[in-house]
Amino acid sequence: MRPINEIIVHCTATPAGREVSVDTIRSWHKQRGWRDIGYHWVVHLDGSVEEGRPVGQVGAHVAGHNTGTIGVVYVGGVDKDMRAKDTRTAAQKDGLEKLLRDLMSHYPSVTKISGHNQYAAKACPCFDARQEYAQLLSEVAAPPTVINSDVPVSGKGTVTASTLNLRSEPKMSGRDIGDIPRGTTVDIFGSDGDWLKIKTPAGYEGWVARRYVAVAGSDPIADPSAHFETTAPVYMRRLIDDIPQWSALDAAAAFGNFGHESAGLEILEEISGGGGYGWPQWTGSRRRAYETWCRENGLDPASDEANYRYVVIELRGPEERTIAAVAKANGLEAKTLAFERSFERAGVKHDDRRLDWATRALAAYRAAYPKQEIDMSAAPAEEEKTGGPVEKMIGAGKGAAQGAVGGVTIGGGIVIIGTTMGWLPPEADTAMFGAAVTGVLTGFSSFVMACIGAYRAPANGGS
């Protein structure tokens, strides 16, 4: 993984309110002869975030400053007359801030957030990024949770960043061994300034930035999944009741995202403080709105109940589109991703981890509320409504009698008309009488045979 020390913010220089896709920007940049879109991340009008060029590749967004940087662009930046203007929507501001926090959490080496206009004679991104995000940078770069002298040479710790880089040496230039997901409990057996030497449950050893590890005795989390697997099913069942369009799969998709964002509903406060908060890690105006609502309703913002109730408020209000987006997706994976794209709009996706938590949520729900299946093959077949022997005899008699009367009536009518009009010879009257007698005898014999058959047949029509 290439070293990252700065994030540079841009705008697409498109009119306010006009959406632009990643593919469109990619086509613009390819027309310039570039091999791919120059930006690493794109923040859309609704606050959703979409990946552009892979972060592992050097971008093409600021001449002379592409190495060691990540390029982030928001859609907009000019008014209808194409004059420079900060056109970010409220959702974009929140989405951009959340993306920046996620990136800084993933890349602790980031020390600067700048705008394109700080490196070129351009208005882009049409606001002072350094000034706006100075506080954000200081929050994420806050001092370690515990004092250096208090860090034990050995002990346990829990990863509190979204993901934490494991390095071969206690410095940012150390080789990147891999990522450790939030909520992982690690063994600590050494320290060097702002770095801890740890061992993961899988047996990998290396160094991590200590400000992203909660040391046992400070704020330990023994088993992040234990609370999740007992709490998630309860609130999933309520969510299905409160959002009638949703099934257990949809609820699991939501809690899969919450599980990832808050390490199994356990770590509600982002490590630096002042960033994400709650099950979904609300940031910016969404976090402020949540905290205000909690104060007005006398609820503890750290409680599961407060988190759940506000999630429902958002789903029924400003995030209502999430309901349909998740409901129409097919399968747990698609629903989990749909929830992230619509509700979370995370900068760093980690789709596989969200799906892992969603799978846990669904399994826990099914264990807590086993579905009562009805085995239709074991149910008795519905009895044919033909009645017993007596009813069958009556029915058969009616049929035979109706047949005989019908035959005599029609035949007799034809003969009478025929002889009257001269179409038939007089002898037809005698034939008619014979036909009538034959019809009556035939009907009577049919009635007798039907009665005998009905009497001998079982009531349920069996053989």
Active site residues: 10, 39, 116, 122, 124
CB environment 100-135: b (16+ within 10 A), e (fewer): bbbbbbbbbebeebbbbbeeeebbbbbbebeebbee
Find tokens 């964002």 and name the residue.
261
Helix then strand then coil, % of the chain, to nearest 5: 45, 15, 40
Tokens of 335: 């629903």
Tokens of 3: 């070293």
Tokens of 264: 């199994």
Sign of CA pseudo-dihedral 169, 172, 178, 179: positive
- 199: exposed, middle or buried (Cβ count in 10 Å: 0-12, 13-18, 19+): middle
Tokens of 383: 């009895």
Nearest-5° Cα angle at 235, 232 to 236: 75
Residues in Cβ contact with 452 at an 8 Å cutoff, skipping those fewer than 6 apart: none
Omega cis (within 30) before 125: yes
- One-letter amino acid at 8 equals I
Yes or no: say if 7 and 73 are a contact pair by the CB < 8 Å rule. Answer: no
Distance CA 15, CA 82 (A): 6
**Which alpha helices (DSSP H) does 213-347 contain, by range?**
224-242, 248-261, 284-296, 304-316, 321-328, 331-339
- CA 94 vs CA 46, 101, 283, 306: distances in Å: 10, 11, 7, 21
Q: Could you say which DSSP state residue 5 is in?
A: -
DSSP secondary structure of 363-420: HHHHHHS------GGGSPPPPPTT--HHHHHHHHHHHHHHHHHHHHHHHHHHHHHHHH
Yes or no: say if 19 and 81 are a contact pair by the CB < 8 Å rule. Answer: no
Yes or no: say if 183 and 267 are a contact pair by the CB < 8 Å rule. Answer: yes
